[in-house]
Amino acid sequence: MIIPVAIVSSLVIIAAVAVSQVESSEGSIPPEVQKAVLARLAEIQAAAQALDPDKVFSFVLENDSGALAQNGTLLLTRKEALAATRQGFHGLQKVSYRFDEQHVTLLAPTVALATGQGASSATLEDGRTLTTRFAQSVVLVLTNGEWKVFHSHRSFPPTE
């Protein structure tokens, strides 16, 4: 079954920030930094589970050079990514996601990278549930004392 593009788009930002089974290289991230990044991801996850795209995007920086990339499609601006996510949330009753693995790396004192893979599920208003595998990466930037999403990338393998 092929998942409609709008639903897949909504799962991009949602699962891109879900917190689960985080791993990091021992000693590579100060504990207080990892804790702050994970706390921000948890806030975004809660907003996504509430199907609130505006709250999700309150944690996303303005970016006109590639806010979101998904399966060969580049949404250059935060505005375009938000519009796609709003469209994707339409008709959803529930979303959930599970990471099989997730890694957090500090690239610079104010730049973090979260990568992972897992499965996303969306329950439609008619009760059908669609599930797909994904791989994703999210770049977060520390701005004015807060971790914000600068760029998210997600890919889904073809469904059979």
**Residue range 30-52, pLDDT digits in tens:** 888 888 887 887 898 789 889 99
Top mean pLDDT of 12-16, 25-29, 103-107, 125-129 is at 125-129
Whether the predicted pLDDT of 4 surpasses 60: no
Domain count, the chain: 1
For residue 64, is it within any domain? yes
Going by pLDDT thresholds of 50, 70 and 90, the confidence category of residue 160 is: low
C-alpha of 26 from chain center: 24
Which of 119, 121, 122, 112 has the alpha carbon at shortest distance from 152?
112
Question: Mean of the pLDDT values across residues 119-124?
Answer: 92
Whether the predicted pLDDT of 87 surpasses 80: yes
For residue 160, is it within any domain? no
In single-letter form, the type of residue at position 140 comes to L
The pair of three-digit structure tokens given for residue 104, joined into one six-digit string:
């957090």
CATH number, residue 26:
3.10.450.50
Going by pLDDT thresholds of 50, 70 and 90, the confidence category of residue 159 is: low
Whether the predicted pLDDT of 143 surpasses 70: yes
Domain hosting residue 44, numbered range: 5-155
Please say whether the beta carbons of 117 and 134 come within 8 A. yes
Whether the predicted pLDDT of 14 surpasses 70: no
